[in-house]
Amino acid sequence: MRSICIAIIMIGSAIISYAQEESPELDIFEESIDSSLTDSLKSDIYIFTKSSSQGLQLRWAPSNADIWLKGNKYGYNIDKILMDSTVSEVFLPFESGNFKPWPLEEWEDIVSDSTPYTAAAAMTIYGNKDKSPNSNFFQADQELNNNFGFALLSADLDKNAARASGLYAIDKDLKMDEYAIYRIYMKDELNNPLSDTSYILINYEDPVPFIAPEIAAVKESEKLVTIEWNNSSESTIFTGFYVERSADNGNSYVRLNERPLLDISTNLMKGNFISHTDSLEQNYQPFLYRIVGLDAFGDESLPSEVVEAMGRDRTPPNAPVDFIIEETGDNHFELSWSYTDENKEITGFNIYKSIDNEENFKLVANNLPSSERKYIEESPDPILTNYYFVTAIDTAGNEAASTVNFGITTDLIAPQAPANLRYSIDTLGRLLLEWDEPSDQDIRGYRVYSSNSINSDFAVEPGDNIKQNYFVSKLNLKTLTEDIYYFVQCIDLSYNISQNSEILKVKKPDLIAPSQSIFVDYEVSEEGIYFEWVKSTSDDVERVELHRKSSEGTWNIVDYFDQDTRSYLDKNVTEGEYYEYALHTIDDDGNLTIGEKKLNLEALKSYFLKDIPVLSASSEDNGILLTIQYPNAENFEFTILRAKEDGTLTTYKKLSQSTSFTDTNIQKRTKYHYSVRATAEDGRDSRLSEIVIIKK
pLDDT digits (tens, 9 = 90+) for 667-686: 888 999 999 999 988 888 89
What is the per-residue burial (b if ≥16 Cβ within 10 Å, else e) of 567-596? ebebeebeeeeebebbbbbbbeeebebebe
* pLDDT at position 29: 35
**pLDDT at 617 > cutoff 70:** yes
Q: Which of 313, 331, 323 is nearest to 349 (CA)?
A: 323
- Domain 419-507 superfamily per CATH: Immunoglobulins (2.60.40.10)
* pLDDT at position 128: 66
State the Cα torsion 129-135-137-139 to the nearest 10°. Answer: -80
Give the residue with greater pLDDT, 36 vs 411: 411
d(C-alpha 438, C-alpha 435), whole Å: 9
pLDDT digits (tens, 9 = 90+) for 555-573: 999 999 998 899 999 999 8
**pLDDT at 18 > cutoff 60:** no
**pLDDT at 22 > cutoff 70:** no
Give the residue with greater pLDDT, 207 vs 338: 338
* pLDDT at position 135: 62
* pLDDT at position 246: 95
- Domain 518-602 superfamily per CATH: Immunoglobulins (2.60.40.10)
Give the residue with greater pLDDT, 542 vs 540: 542
What is the per-residue burial (b if ≥16 Cβ within 10 Å, else e) of 187-214? beeeeeebbbbbbbbbbbeeeeebbbbe
May I ask the CATH architecture of the domain 614-695?
A: Sandwich (2.60)
**pLDDT level of residue 27 (50, 70, 90 thresholds):** very low
- Domain 215-309 superfamily per CATH: Immunoglobulins (2.60.40.10)
**pLDDT at 486 > cutoff 90:** yes
- The mean predicted confidence, pLDDT, of the chain is 85
**pLDDT level of residue 283 (50, 70, 90 thresholds):** very high
**pLDDT at 665 > cutoff 70:** yes
**pLDDT at 696 > cutoff 90:** no
CA triplet 87, 93, 98: central angle to 5 degrees? 150
Give the residue with greater pLDDT, 239 vs 449: 449
Paired strand residues for 678: 638
* pLDDT at position 340: 93
What is the pLDDT averaged over residues 326-332?
85
pLDDT digits (tens, 9 = 90+) for 182-224: 999 999 888 888 888 898 998 888 887 778 899 999 999 999 9
Rounded to whole angstroms, what are the CA distances from 583 to 215, 404, 527, 559, 662? 63, 49, 21, 10, 55
Backbone angles phi, psi at 588, to 5 degrees: -70, -5
What is the pLDDT averaged over residues 604-618?
87
**pLDDT level of residue 264 (50, 70, 90 thresholds):** low
pLDDT digits (tens, 9 = 90+) for 130-167: 555 566 778 888 888 999 989 999 999 999 999 999 99
Class in CATH terms, 321-407 = mainly beta
What is the pLDDT averaged over residues 446-465?
93
What is the pLDDT averaged over residues 359-369?
94
Backbone angles phi, psi at 308, to 5 degrees: -105, 135
Rounded to whole angstroms, what are the CA distances from 347 to 313, 319, 391, 652, 683? 15, 13, 11, 68, 58
* pLDDT at position 382: 81
**pLDDT level of residue 626 (50, 70, 90 thresholds):** very high
* pLDDT at position 177: 86
* pLDDT at position 272: 64
Q: At what angle do helices 116-126 and 137-157 cross, to 10 degrees?
A: 150
pLDDT digits (tens, 9 = 90+) for 297-322: 888 889 999 999 999 999 999 999 99
* pLDDT at position 42: 58
* pLDDT at position 208: 77
Domain boundaries, the chain: 27-203, 215-309, 321-407, 419-507, 518-602, 614-695
d(C-alpha 55, C-alpha 65), whole Å: 30
**pLDDT level of residue 271 (50, 70, 90 thresholds):** low
d(C-alpha 461, C-alpha 449), whole Å: 6
Q: Which residues contact 544 (CB under 8 A, 6 or more apart)?
A: 517, 533, 535, 536, 560, 561, 562, 563, 565, 583, 584, 585, 586
pLDDT digits (tens, 9 = 90+) for 53-76: 899 999 999 999 999 999 999 999
* pLDDT at position 10: 26
**pLDDT at 39 > cutoff 60:** no
Q: Please state, for a pLDDT cut of 70, what percent of the chain lies above it.
A: 89
